[in-house]
Amino acid sequence: GAVVSQHPSWVICKSGTSVKIECRSLDFQATTMFWYRQFPKQSLMLMATSNEGSKATYEQGVEKDKFLINHASLTLSTLTVTSAHPEDSSFYICSATGLAGSSDTQYFGPGTRLTVL
């Protein structure tokens, strides 16, 4: 099956700093990537949808100026958490789907655990 990687797998940062998380499709072209966030014992919550070469679409309640998404190529999307605060500590997971893809071919990355001190 298709492989999606994320980097880093975990990160610890100080409050007020920015953190960039990369999501890569390793063996297919990802026309659409999704970013989710999961707090402990909670469900995955969709944050935004990004299509290659266009602006991301954010879900209601997600601050687009705080969570910057760039889908610059068909294999890479990045999520930057700007001015991170402890409440942003969470498990961030991306997923990707390829050309003519559908929801059942949405491949998840391994996730990035962010801890903001």
Partner 1 sequence: QKEVEQNSGPLSVPEGAIASLNCTYSDRGSQSFFWYRQYSGKSPELIMFIYSNGDKEDGRFTAQLNKASQYVSLLIRDSQPSDSATYLCAQGKYSGGGADGLTFGKGTHLIIQP
Beta-carbon contacts of 29 under 8 Å, excluding residues fewer than 6 positions away, are: 74, 75, 98, 99
Within residues 84-113, the interface with partner 1 by CB under 8 A covers 93, 97, 100-106, 108-111, 113
What mask of x and - would describe binding to partner 1 in positions 2 to 31, judged by CB under 8 A? ------------------------------
Establish how many alpha carbons lie within 13 A of residue 33's alpha carbon, considering only the half-sphere containing its beta carbon.
33
- Residue 49 contacts partner 1 per CB under 8 A: yes
Q: Which residues of 78-90 are buried (b: 16+ CB within 10 A; e: fewer)?
A: bbebeebeeebbb
> Which phi and psi (to 5°) does residue 80 adopt?
-110, 120
- Residue 44 contacts partner 1 per CB under 8 A: yes
- Residue 83 contacts partner 1 per CB under 8 A: no
Supply the minimum distance, in Å, between the C-beta of residue 9 and partner 1.
10
Which window, 20-28, 40-48, 69-77, 81-89, contacts partner 1 (CB under 8 A)?
40-48
Q: Which residues pair with 7 in a beta bridge?
A: 22
Give residues in contact with partner 1 (CB under 8 A): 32, 34, 36, 41-46, 49, 59, 93, 97, 100-106, 108-111, 113
